Amino acid sequence: MPKSRASPIRAVVDKVVPGKHGFYAVATPEEESLRRMTGKTGITFSLEPEDGAWRETEHPVPGDIVLLHDVRERRQGWRASRAGLHHLET
């Protein structure tokens, strides 16, 4: 059974990539222990509207801070099933 983490992970977007199933982003967790766990692959999430993972109207850019939810370890690496920009709450 795949490992998973339910609480949100704060991460930095490294790159946005055109893939065979559409655009996706790769992000690195800010927390050191999670960076070690995810390794060189980081955590990916789909940017395609039909997948429903990305909750924003515009794609992220490298350097953006995102919150990743429902992160699971898959055979191909770590995946977040929901993601969005980190917004200042007032």
What the chain holds in terms of domains, given with CATH numbers, is 4-85 (2.40.50.140)
Please count the other Cβ atoms lying within 10 Å of the Cβ belonging to residue 34.
19
Which pLDDT score, from 0 to 100, does residue 1 have?
38
Which pLDDT score, from 0 to 100, does residue 6 have?
57
Which pLDDT score, from 0 to 100, does residue 4 have?
54
Q: What is the pLDDT of residues 42-80, one digit of tens each?
A: 999 999 998 999 999 999 999 999 999 999 999 989 999
Nearest to 17 by CA among 58, 56, 61: 61
Which pLDDT score, from 0 to 100, does residue 88 have?
76
Q: What is the pLDDT of residues 1-48, one digit of tens each?
A: 355 555 799 999 999 999 998 999 999 999 999 999 998 889 999 999
Spatial distance between the Cα atoms of 63 and 81, rounded to a whole number of angstroms: 20
